[in-house]
Structure 1
Amino acid sequence: MSNKHELIMVNRNKVQVSGVKDIISLDDTSIAVETTNGILEIFGVNLKATSLNLETGEISINGEVVEIKYLT
C-alpha cells in the first residue's frame, strides 16, 4: 500500500477510498477508517462496505452519504 490517499464520491451514494490502513468501526449509519492522512468518518443511511482490501488499502461503500469528515 502506498501513502497516497484518495476519496471519490459519486452522487452521494457510492464512495471509494484509498490509503486505508485499518477499519475503526462499521455499521449501517457510520463508518470510520484510519487512512494515511488521518481518521475518516462517513455518516449516512444504509451504509455498506461492498469491498474491502487492507492489503491494497481500498474500501468501497454504498448507501446514502450524509456527512464526511476527517478527525484531527
Structure 2
Amino acid sequence: MDSISSAVAGASAATPGSVQAAASVLVLKKALDMQSSSATQLIASLPQPALATSGTLGTQVNTFV
C-alpha cells in the first residue's frame, strides 16, 4: 500500500504533462490492476459454504400470503 500512496504523491507533485507524471500514473494503474487481480483470485479461491440440511436456520421458508 505504501508504493501506491507514494506513486499517487509523486504523480500529484509532478508538473502537469511531464514524463515523470505520466510514468507515475502508469505505475499506479498497473499496481491497482495487480491488486485487483490478486483480490479476485483470492475471493474466487474461497470455498462455497454448504447449504443447511437440518435444524431451523436456513431449512424452512415462510410463505405466508
TM-score normalised by length of structure 2: 0.21
Larger proportion of helix:
2
Larger RCO, structure (CA 8 Å, separation 6 or more)? 1
Structure with more strand by fraction: 1
